[in-house]
Each structure stands twice: as C-alpha cells, then as structure tokens.
Amino acid sequence: MAQAFIVPPCAENPIILHRDPHFLVVNKPAGLLSVPGRHPANRDCLMSRLAREFPGALTVHRLDMDTSGIMLVALDKDTQRYLAGLFEQRRIEKQYSTLVDGLVAEDSGSVELPMRCDWPNRPLQIIDTVAGKRAVTHYRVTSRSPERLQTRLQLSPVTGRTHQLRLHLAAIGHPILGCRFYAPKAVMAAAPRLMLHAQSLCFVHPGTSLQVSYEAPATF
C-alpha cells in the first residue's frame, strides 16, 4: 500500500479564462489538486477554491496535481453530463505543451504503448503489452535546444490514461523535465516543476452547438 502523500500548500490561484451560463474555463496552477484528495489534509483543490464563488460548480475532468493548464468546470448538471460525455467519447481535442530531456529525432510521431496501474506502487503506471489498456499519444516538435539537450513538444493524447503523457515520453527515452515519477533524478531536478501544461481544448459548445476553442499558453 502506497503511503499517504501530503500535498504542499499551493500559493498560486487558478485563473478564470472564460465564464458563460454553462461552464467555466479555468487555468489550474501546477501543484494544486483538481479535486480533494483522500487524506483529510488534502482538501484544498481547484474545486474547493472555485466553490467559494461558484457554489454549484461541478467536476468534468481532472489534471494531475503537478500538471498546470486549462480545465472545464460545469455550472449545472446537464452541462456536466454533456461535457463528460464528450471526454468519454473522445470528442474534445486536447493539446499539451511540454519540455523533455534529450533531442527528439523525429519532427512528429506517435507513441502507442498499452499501460496499466502498477498496483503495488500506485499511483505509478507501467507499460504492459499483455494486460494494459490501449494508450495513444501523438507528438510534434516545436523547438529543440541543442545546448541544453532539451526538446519542446506539442502533445495530442487520443486516450486519457492516468500519467499517460509522462509514461509514454519516458518510455521512448525522453522523460519530462521535473517529473518525480518517471524521470531519473537529474532530469527531475532539471526543472522547478513538472514541465507539462494543458494548453488548449476544442469542442462543441453545449448551448450554441458551435465549435469553440480555448487556450492557455504555457509560461515555461
């Protein structure tokens, strides 16, 4: 059984990027839980902070605590069901920005490696080509830094497995800088935080049925 992890306090507040009658678009800071943790000390989170101003706010999806970026929060149950259904049906286009260790050779590519929970060491995940669930990540190089031996990537996950982006990039030899789960110690120490940011979401608006897109550029 994994030991309880007490989340350090997060001084940075979420930023509301867009508000309409149906949902909020929020930029979550790194280091803040999306929803309350199981341990009583881990109650502070995005949803608890939003509840102070929006007491009816409802969870639609989550980002890892270490990951920053754009999230959708429903303001009524019908919108929650609608948006959650879009995520489940993979009808929401998601893009992430990340900095990884090493120089990625190909300008673009895909990682298709099935994965599952490493139960004795949860929340860690492992690649398992026999019992793992399908996991697919597309990537595109946006810049390379030969002097730092680092690459900036744009990621487009097809599936949404726990730790998918972290594990897939580590599996191809390019762990994310600052990753405390899957990067070697030197790579983990190379950045002050996990260098992974949910940059944009594109989907059909529940009220207008028009395609909408929201973006929160990475600050690293």
Task: Indicate which residues carry an active-site annotation.
Answer: 64
Strands 115-117 and 68-74, by their bridges, are unpaired
The kind and range of the H/E element at 28 are strand 23-28
**Helix, strand, coil percentages for the chain (3-state, nearest 5):** 15, 35, 50
* DSSP secondary structure code for residue 55 in this structure: T
| Type of residue found at 55 | P
CA angle 181, 185, 186 (to 5 degrees): 130
Gap between the Cα atoms of 136 and 165, Å rounded: 9
Sign of CA dihedral 20, 22, 28, 31: positive
